Structure 1
Amino acid sequence: MPSLDPEEGDAIRQALGLDRAARPYRNHYPAPGDDPVAGRLVERGLMERGAATPAGLVLFQVTEAGARQVGARLPEAEAGR
């Protein structure tokens, strides 16, 4: 699988909470439905499109393959979703 560009890696780390903690504790990345970074990650199977928020954003979620790309595992509470 091709490596992540910096924006893609940042999006996955942010979704997993790795921008604030040493271990993943969440799995959501709120972004507009047409977000180009999230769109690329969905196309590559590294994120999935989730539910829309009342604010009109989409909650993208990291897949197991996406977590592996940044050397992480999905948080236990959300791994089954």
Structure 2
Amino acid sequence: MSGKNQHVVQRENGWAVRGEGNSRDTSHHSTQAEAAEAAREIARRQESEVLIHGRDGRIRERDSYGNDPFPPKG
């Protein structure tokens, strides 16, 4: 079973990681890169996805660290 997807979102004083469906942020960071790395570590442990949002709030990058339903053929 996979865990919650992790979202990297902008906040007033930096960037935050928030688990999908959570009411509170998991962690706060001064840069988007720091928040993205923290989200990736959580996603690797939970075998879930990281969704990085841009300053406009739209998803600009998505990485999967779980069991992909349709793995690419090599």
TM-score by length of 1: 0.27
Q: Which protein has the larger Cα radius of gyration, Structure 1 or Structure 2?
A: 2
Q: Greater helix percent: which structure?
A: 1
* TM-score normalised to structure 2 length: 0.28
